[in-house]
Amino acid sequence: MGPTGSGKSTFVHIASGCDAQKIGHGLTSYTTDVRAIRFFDQESGRHIVLVDTPGFDDTYKSDLDILNMISDWLNSSYKRGKLLSGILYLHRISDNRMAGTPLKNFRLLQKLCGNDALRKVYLTTTMWDEVTQSVGDKRLEELKTEYWKSMLTQGAQAVCSQTGKNSAKRIVQLIVSQHATRKPMLLQREMNDLQKQLTETQAGQELYAQLKQFVERHEPDLQRIDRERKVTSEPSVLEELLRDYYTLRVQIDDASRQMQELRPSWFRRHFPHKAQTSIPRCQTVQEPPQVGEEPCDGTLSPD
């Protein structure tokens, strides 16, 4: 898991040796569905399944769509008695700020896992070739002592990923070696053992809180831009204000739609001016869960 562009598909490609077609080199999000790759690992003598996920803050899909896809996959594998050996979270060491996206992703990850499965979370960093060793070391230290601290104290592990095949393979070997202590994720227990809806899970509630915070923070900006555009006569300034206005309007409307989908009645009570009777989806429709696994070497294990 990890923000869009953090190198998830690249990691899967390097560690498994499978095709690189799913790596996105453009500026827009690339992976659009949950994709499981099965390969035979010579070193451990095991068949390993690496699951690639789309990142939250995707260019085309809403965060709710992504959460739905991930939860569909997790629930379907839980029902088949499969537990994850580890959850690998990727962060770009080349990011010079801990911006909103990684922070939001990270909080969702915590809520998806819950305390029990936190010990199966491996926090790692990519793009070391884009920074000097000293800058990378300094940022990694800051991650460990600040942003990752609470997860690390609860048992998550920080694993350093230097760019390259050996490092990716080492991380996979580490996860495989600790495979015996697998735990279900909180979301799997909530939705299967406790029969909760996604909206009632901690991850669903965290997503709702993030969307609400976005709407509340940016609605005043929208009003300010609206006021400014009404008193502007300079065409180039007006054009820029209109562009900003519509960009933000689309983002706020989209966040509101997701909130309404997550909690229709609460949303109607607190945002009556935004509530709609039907919920049009402005993003791509949700795709069916990808529960199958793609063998990359043609060798499927008997189980």
Ligand X SMILES: Nc1nc2c(ncn2[C@@H]2O[C@H](COP(=O)(O)OP(=O)(O)OP(=O)(O)O)[C@@H](O)[C@H]2O)c(=O)[nH]1
Residue number with CB closer to Mg ion (22 or 257)? 22
Which helix (H) or strand (E) covers residue 267, if one does? Answer: helix 264-270
- The neighbour count for residue 99, using CB atoms within 10 Å, is 11
Query: For Mg ion, which is the closer residue by CB, 16 or 31?
Result: 31
* By CB under 5 A, residue 9 contacts Mg ion: yes
For residues 205 and 110, the answer to whether their CB atoms sit within 8 Å is no
Question: Which residue has 């537990």 as its token pair?
Answer: 83
E runs forming strands in 238-295: 293-295
Alpha-carbon gap, residue 18 to 289, rounded angstroms: 21
Q: How many chain residues interact with Mg ion (CB under 5 A)?
A: 4
Query: Minimum distance from CB of 90 to ligand X (Å)?
Result: 7
Nearest-approach distance from CB 155 to ligand X, in angstroms: 25
Q: Please report how close the Cβ of residue 281 comes to Mg ion at its closest, in angstroms.
A: 22
Q: Which residues bind ligand X (CB under 6 A)?
A: 2, 4-10, 23-25, 29-31, 54-55, 126-127, 129-130, 163
102: helix, strand or coil: helix
SS3 153: helix
Shortest CB 65 distance to ligand X, Å: 13
CB of 25 to ligand X, least distance (A): 4
In the block, tokens 């560690």 appear at 15
Cα gap 89→87, rounded to integer Å: 6
Judged by CB under 5 A, which stretch of 2-10, 38-46, 235-243, 295-303 contacts Mg ion? 2-10
Given the complex with ligand X, which of 8 and 257 has the nearer CB atom? Answer: 8
Least CB distance to ligand X at residue 105 (A):
10
Q: What are phi and psi of 58, to 5 degrees?
A: -70, 150
- Say which residue the tokens 């053992």 belong to: 193
- The answer to the question of residue 31 lying near Mg ion (CB under 5 A) is yes
Q: Is 172 helix (H, G, I), strand (E, B) or coil?
A: helix
Q: Which residue is nearest to Mg ion (CB)?
A: 31
Output 129 or 297, the one with its CB closest to ligand X: 129
- Decide which of ligand X, Mg ion, none touches 129; Cβ closer than 5 to 8 Å per partner kind: ligand X
Which spans of this chain sit near Mg ion (rule: CB under 5 A)?
8-9, 30-31
